[in-house]
Structure 1
Amino acid sequence: MNVIKKEAMETSAEAQRQRKVTSTHAGSLTSSSNVKESKMVGFDDVQLQLLDWLTGGNRNRQIIPIVGMGGIGKTTLARHIFEHALVKEHFDIRAWTTISQTYNVREALREVLHQVSGDLRSDLSENELGEKLYKYLCGKRYIIILDDMWSVEVWDKMRFFFPDYNHGSRVIVTTRLSNLATELTNSNRIGMRFLDDVCSWTLFSKTVFGDEVFPLQLEEIGKKIVGKCKGLPLSIAVIGGLLAKSELTLEYWEHIEKNLSSIVNSENDEYCLMLLKLSYDNLPPYLKPCFLYMGMFEEDERIKVSKLMRLWVSEGFLKPIINKSSKTIANEYLKELVDRNLILVHELGKLGNIRYCKMHDLLRDLSFQEAEKQRFYYVLGQHCPRGINSQRRIVIPRSTSDKTARDALETMSRARSFICDGDTVSQLPDFRFLRTLSTYKYSGEYLDENVFQLVNLRYLSARFREGFQIPSSISLLWNLHTLIVSCRGKRTAPVEIWKMHQLKHVEFVYENMYLPDPPSGHSDVIMENLETLNGVIDFNLNEEVVKRIPNIKKLEIIITDKVMDRDRVKCLSYLQCLSKLESLSCFSDYGSEDKYLQSISFPHSLKKLSLHCGYFFHLEEILEKIGSLPLLQKLKLLFGQFATRSWEIGEGQFPSLKYLSLNFCRDMECWTLEGTCLPRLEQLHLEDMESLEEFPSEIGEIPTLKSVVLLNCSESMGLSLKKIVDEQEKLQGDPSIHVLVESDNVSQQLQTLATPNFRVVKGSLM
């Protein structure tokens, strides 16, 4: 027994060592900027009080406001509570939505409904969304966070859709308005206070130096700087972010302190803005336009990072660096702004990359004010002022009326950028200098074909009418590098698109598009810059096409059930010739695509793969090929079947895989792992894998595995996974795997086994 105990302890120690090593080498962008959480210092007592109110004995639905000025930590506290293990265990359903000043009740209800049920439908009215939400919440104990509320009218419109059946449900509201909190409830409320000197210093130290020792020679000047921040967490975080990226010299810190001393305005919001402006003033020149550009987005908007970076490129903000791509440079700029706490990481991808970012309201206000002073861009309000024709960047928010927008457009002939978040007009004037045109996101009308005559365009994202065909004149857009087209109905792109060698990113969204074969006689035109090609139907890959797109990195193709000739059926074998391809998504209908997929061959450069297979496609035929890919980090499989009813992952397969998702893959009854396969797996997601009865015990021996999600899988799978978690707890004291088991048919036995690390949810949580 002593020998066994000794071996178990050695195994546990080795596993912990490997986890530390793995977390140290987590990729180019998985730095502190990506994964760092907002630091909450000095509010332990407030958090305990809030947890007591949330999980206490009161069975009625309660509203709990968190009140305080901008930047004082309301959202940070709510986020910590939302992710707290006790809250996850206590409530059946958790959901979060941001309201903001320019609120939209329908969008808020849609966001909550999506989180509680997975329903993404956008064609429902406000009442229909509310009724559907009410039905999902009935009989469940829920917690809803309504972040950044400015008007009680929002709650008056939403309250009827949050049922109160004495289950102990809670609604947390964060707001800057004390009178609003009083209108919402006359009982429990949290009033956020400024940090005291000790907590302010702790937060500042962690922000600047992390866990390192604070240099003795900088302590005195550091405390003076912290004192000027007046206990406001956002100010401390932003100033700390500035100093963390700057010279660690006494002279520089004294310079910062001197500038802080010149800010004498005592009005809190204005004072905070002036304090934050110091961080903007000290930005390197190449980062200032990137920061100012953030003010163009709507308040509290989730900003898609890939879109943001492409806009930065089209606006010419990126400073060229030898041997670095524009995407790499843009990633470095974003990372630096995040490290300075000027941009917030909102959502990470499965591999740790930043997918969405946001801005704090005060920092957005600062960006907006500075941009206005410098005439960096112009945001059109409800009136069209004189002199607008001299503006270079025009932003039309959703709140601007159609008539005002149409009137303003007539006088914007010198504009270089046109960003429209509302319903745009269909006909644009002669924007002969226009370089950036983005109207796709919220556009309710359709853009006319004349946009394809704007020869200086670099970035075009627009929605077009049903039946629209891209004209052959698109080849006149000789400088276009991003093309995003949305229209109903399957259409064919013009053959002239193959002549546009400047194109970097091409996306056909909504109903996708056919791409014709390259024209004969123009084999000398190589699209050497093309990196992204999404939404192409029945892409006819062949030797000629492969030569035209040698540097493609991301490819999304859709396979239909139309009959193809013998040569075309084998076209997916040419994928292996795309030596730079990193991300491949392949979606197929039911039918003849089985033959289409059987010939598929993958390049060794592949890092992300998503396959939507036919219902009867034999997965064994393709999984052996996939398992040998040396760089593959993310794999998603949808549909298909295991004809042998088993999946055996052999020794050394999937050497780099971090994320594995199996959805509706039929008939897999047995799953075995051999040797050192899946050595870097971090996340495992299984959905509707009802035939699989038991988890392979070797899963618990993968040192890097952090989370497992089971959605609508068999009861026995959940029980076998619980045994693995319990075994880890015996060996290590604290299991490294966090598990979520969710199903409409969760038994009472499985629910009694729930712990903070093994969550069991009956019904839909996602």
Structure 2
Amino acid sequence: MAMIMDAVLGKLLDELLKEVVNVKDRAVKFRATLITLESTLNKVGRLAKQIDGLNNQLNKPAEEMKELKDKLAKGKKLVMECSEIQWWNCCYKANYQEELEALYESIRLYFNLDMQGLILTNELQNQVILTEIHATVMESGPRRTELKGVCSPPAPPAFTVGLDVHLREMKVKLLNNHHHAGSVLTVTGTPGSGKSTLVKKFCCDEEVKGIFKENIFFITFAQKPKLNTIVQRLFQHNACQVPEFQSDDDAVYQLENLLKQIGKNPILLVLDDVPSESVSLVDKFVFQIPKYKILVTSRITIRGFDQPYVLKSLNEVDAINLFRHSASLNQSSSDIPENIVKKIARGCSGSPLALIVTGKSLSREPPWAWNNRAKKLSKGQPILAFSADVLTCLQKSFDDLDPKVAECFRDLSLFPEAQRIPAAALVDIWAELRDEDDDSAMENIYELVKRNMADIVVTRNISSGTIDYNYHYVTQHGLLRDLAILQTNKELMKKRNRLIIDVSGNNLPDWWTTQNEYHIAAHSLSISTDDTFTSEWCNLQASEVEVLVLNLREKKRSLPMFMEKMNKLKVLIVTNYEFYRADLENFELLDNLSSLKRIRLEKVSIPFLSNTGVQLKNLHKFSFFMCNVNEAFKNSTIQVSKVFPNLEEMNIDYCDMVELPIGLSDIVSLKKLSITNCHKLSALPEGIGKLVNLESLRLTSCTKLEELPESITSLSKLNFLDISDCVSLSKLPENMGELRSLENLNCRGCTRLTDLPYSITELESLSAVVCDEETAALWEPFKTMLRDLKLKVAQVDFNLNWLS
């Protein structure tokens, strides 16, 4: 019906315009009026057709254009009658002249008044609809929409070989029974055979994406995966509020309901790198939902499902191509003989991981290094065949490390498998164990990355004028972590320099006891527990420990009593890997640790400082990440300056802080203060000007911070200031020019900053300002007065890697 009405309007317009054109030359007496009417019809005709067409698409009532159609039909009849009036009939001429003028006027008024009213009405109706849609979305949406998409499939490597046949065969296996509910396909093979690469490429295939669209969910299993955590991530990915599950069975029930709700399109769930001890979890994800598929990768064959898809070794042609690419032999001319290339590639036995690692280890190395590697292979020394051989291959890469970097590589094993390691935590360890500064610590990390012994993820890329490693995370392949642990475990446990204790449930080591002391000589101690661990801490005699890393998965945990005798402890790192914050108790033990220099807490709630009576007189650095700290500082009756009298650096990131701790401004030893992503912080105390030794102040993304106190201009040693993304900040202190030592300023994203104080001309040391296009215009006039000033218009790159 809508299309018919559209055709009627177009026909009426065309017919009226045709009659006007035909009649105007014959009916001379009406020519002037008809010419005006012709011009008007030409102007409004196309517009009227477009409006009517859009109304039809939007299912608007046909009555909205009915009045115009009636006018056009009557107008056609009137023009035809005008053509029949004889020259001598003066009475009719006058009457028809008036009617023609009335027709013209009615069409003109329709578009000037009636059509404007229709447009306004439609706009108001659309606004109402949009408001209702927005209200519905907000009502049903998640509390933390920024986590949406955390289970999106990762992109496969840019260069792959030998996977096309596998992809076709997998499609036949998984997609042919397209309507079968809950079918499972497992992909298995030796470590490093390319299982994860294959499923990533499968997820990015155009045919697969065309079938499953947005319903492709990719989960990488940790060594000890928790069902609740996986289900929580799936809820987050789909922008749904995460329920608090009462049990594993409840989590499975809630997940099934979620999948049914989003199951209008087919669903593909990928469970990647499922370890042998977690095979039973796969059954929890099997539901009888139409068009629902599960794709699993594992190093072992999982029984109970259809015949697994087994990845074989690469053929020689594909193996050499992958090796040459990994060794950068395709990018430039090479002096390496082809027979040497083939000999080393053949020694890798077609394993993609070994080919890539070996190729990268030889990339841009001199010919003698290639010849030496080929000679060792020719003597029968294996690189890989099974998983043990893969470790042998990786061992060779380890042997090539500088001794100092090799120790750093071993330190990566202090953190759990499949978890990203904050670079800041590694900096803390290496600063105290090996006297490394920030620059040299990051150099160690990038050396490992360069040698393919680790990877680095940067969650926020932006030039801020100084190194900010708080957005850097180190990741490590599971096999490489195994290699690091293998290196650590070569000595007897009591004599090891680095002791790693991994406790699952209450399956404790034989030596674990709460009565008898167990002496260790380790300087670094790592203890990892899971959420089923209920035992008491063991009674360790760990007097030599300088670094203690506690990796927890419990809602409440006390610090171990054996810490009381750790007289040499310098670094304490406590990380909770659960979804919710963990309550950390027994904090008063720290009062006995006179050597403690650095503390890093992640995703924990700390007790009221007034309840502990702790005094950490030698603590130099305290870092909080995603912690509940507001109550601890707010309700404390003890000033923080008495708890940390010699603190030099404090970092508070993604915490619930509303105001700075009482007495913080009295810690005159403080050199670095970083308060970032604290979205409840609205003001800084006037007393901040008393931090006379402060050199660096970061206030990144404190979105409620409205102004900087004037007293901040008293910070005579301040050389770096970061106020980026403080979107509520509307002005800078009037006497900003008194910060004579300020060299670097980051004000990117300060969208409410509309002018700058003239005193900025006195910032004689200012050499770099990072800003965006909006704020750059404010700084341009000052460049003539500050000759060393350089503006950097920065583009920021945010991603969700840190949530993995």
TM-score (norm 1): 0.63
2:356 corresponds to 1:229:
no
Mapped pair 1:156 → 2:287: no
Which region of structure 1 is more displaced relative to structure 2, 230-239 or 361-370? 361-370
Matched letter for residue 250 of structure 1 = P
1:109 equivalent in alignment to 2:228: no
In structure 2, the CA distance between the partners of 1:475 and 1:677, relative to structure 1 (3 Å rule), is: farther
Q: Does 1:632 align with 2:746?
A: yes
Answer with 56-65 or 122-131: which moved more: 56-65
**Which residue number corresponds to residue 581 of structure 1?**
697
- For residues 441-497 of structure 1, the C-alpha deviation after alignment (integer angstroms, 9 at most, x for no partner) is 225531257735532111223599969585497375234223538445544487875
Helix, strand or coil at the partner of 2:483: helix
> How far apart in 2 are the matches of 1:330 and 1:401?
37
Name the counterpart of 1:401.
Answer: 506
Contact 2:415 2:551 in 1 (8 A): no
Name the counterpart of 2:446: 335
1:174 aligns with 2:285: no
Equivalent position to 1:97, from 219, 231, 255: 219
CA 1:278–1:555: 2 relative to 1, 3 Å: same
Distance 1:45 1:277, change over 3 A: same
**What is the CA-CA distance between 1:148 and the residue it aligns to?**
1.6
**In structure 1, C-alpha distance between the alignment counterparts of 2:258 and 2:160, rounded to whole Å:** 33
Compared CA separation, residues 289 and 498, structure 1 to 2 (3 A): closer
> Structure 1 residues 92 and 205, CA, compared in 2 at 3 Å: closer, same or farther?
same
Contact 1:546 1:578 in 2 (8 A): no
| SS at 1:455 equivalent | coil
How many Å apart are 1:113 and its aligned residue?
A: 3.3
Change in Cα spacing, 1:703 to 1:54, as seen in structure 2 (3 Å) is: farther
Q: Which residue of 2 aligns with 1:40?
A: 160
Query: In the alignment, residue 558 of structure 2 is paired with which amino acid?
Result: Y
Query: Within 5 A, what are the aligned runs for 1:140-289?
Result: 140=263, 141=265, 142-149=267-274, 150=276, 152-160=279-287, 164-166=289-291, 169-177=292-300, 179-180=301-302, 183-186=304-307, 190-209=309-328, 212-244=331-363, 248-261=365-378, 262-264=380-382, 267-289=385-407
Q: CA RMSD in A?
A: 5.1
Q: Which residue identity lines up with residue 273 of structure 2 in the other structure?
A: D
**Equivalent position amino acid for 1:307 in 2:** A
Identity, % of aligned positions: 18
1:360-409 per-position Cα deviation (integer Å, ceiling 9, x unaligned): 3333333333322245xx5xxxxxxxxxx444433221326266474188
> How far did 1:331 drift?
1.9
Q: Which of 585, 597, 605 is matched with 2:720 structurally?
A: 605
Taking the aligned partners of 1:569 and 1:212, their CA distance within structure 2 comes to 57
Aligned pair count? 585
- Measure how far apart 1:228 and its partner are: 0.8
**Equivalent pair of 2:227/2:281 in contact (CA under 8 Å):** yes
Bigger RCO (CA 8 Å, 6+ sep): 1
| 1:467–1:356 distance in 2 versus 1, CA, 3 Å | closer
User: Counterparts of 1:236 and 1:120 in 2: how far apart (Å)?
Assistant: 42
What letter is aligned with 2:258? Y
Where 1:276 maps in the other structure, the secondary structure is helix
Matches within 5 A, 1:489-500: 490-492=608-610, 497=615, 499-500=617-618
Structure 1, 414-423 or 498-507: larger mean CA deviation: 498-507
Does the residue aligned with 1:203 lie in a helix, a strand or coil? helix
Matched, 1:451 2:563: yes
Contact 1:469 1:491 in 2 (8 A): no
How far, CA to CA, are the matches of 1:56 and 1:620 in structure 2? 60
| Inter-partner Cα distance in structure 1 for 2:550 and 2:178 | 49
CA distance in 1, matches of 2:431, 2:545: 15
Partner of 1:209, secondary structure, is: coil
Tell me the distance in 2 between the aligned counterparts of 1:312 and 1:283.
17
Cα distance 1:636–1:329, how it changes in 2: closer, same or farther (>3 A)? Answer: farther
Deviations 1:112-143 (A, max 9, x none): 33333465667642122222222322233332
In the alignment, structure 1 residue 481 sits paired with structure 2 residue 598? yes
Is the CA contact 2:721–2:745 (under 8 Å) kept in the aligned structure 1? yes
CA contact (8 A) 1:655 1:677 kept: no
Tell me the residue number matched to 2:465: none
* SS of match in other structure, 2:339: helix
Q: Is the 8 A contact 1:390 1:412 kept in 2?
A: no
Structure 1 residue 97, shift from structure 2 partner: 1.9
Code of the aligned partner of 2:571 = Y
**Range moving further from structure 2, 390-399 or 248-257:** 390-399
Q: How many angstroms does 1:173 deviate by?
A: 0.9
Residue matched to 1:735:
none
1:134 aligns with 2:134: no
Amino acid at match of 1:222: V
Q: Report if aligned partners of 2:639, 2:664 keep a CA contact under 8 Å in 1.
A: no
Q: CA deviation at 1:355?
A: 4.2
Distance 1:508 1:310, change over 3 A: same
Partner SS state of residue 184, structure 1: coil
SS at match of 2:404: coil
Aligned mates of 2:206, 2:771 — CA distance in 1: 28
Preserved contact between residue 708 and residue 732 of structure 2 (Cα < 8 Å): no
Confirm or deny: 8 A CA contact 1:469 1:492 kept in the other structure: no
Which stretch of the first structure deviates more once superposed, 501-510 or 391-400? 501-510
Gap regions ≥5 residues in structure 2 = 1-154, 463-468, 737-741, 757-767, 781-791
Alignment of 1:260-409 (within 5 A): 260-261=377-378, 262-264=380-382, 267-314=385-432, 316=433, 318=434, 326-345=437-456, 347-351=457-461, 355-375=472-492, 378=493, 389-399=494-504, 401=506, 404=509, 406-407=512-513
Find the aligned partners of 2:612 and 2:558 in 1 and give their Cα distance.
20
Q: Deviations over 1:583-624 (max 9, x none)?
A: 546487xxxx9799999999783457565x9xxxx6656899
CA distance in 2, matches of 1:350, 1:437: 28
Offset of 1:312 from its aligned partner?
4.4
Question: 5+ residue gaps in structure 1?
Answer: 1-34, 379-388, 659-671, 680-701, 712-764
Go from structure 1 to structure 2 and tell me whether the alpha carbon gap of 1:250 and 1:211 turns closer, same or farther (over 3 Å shift). closer
The question of whether the paired residues in 2 share the 8 Å contact of 1:98 and 1:108 is answered with: no
How far apart in 1 are the matches of 2:270 and 2:734? Answer: 45
Q: 1:67 is matched by which residue type in structure 2?
A: T
Q: 1:204 to 1:125 in 2, by over 3 A?
A: same
Once the two structures are superposed, what CA deviation does each residue of 1:282-301 show, in whole Å capped at 9, x if it has no partner?
Answer: 22212222333344544434
Tell me, in whole angstroms, the C-alpha distance in 2 between the residues paired with 1:201 and 1:678.
55
Q: Greater helix percent: which structure? A: 2
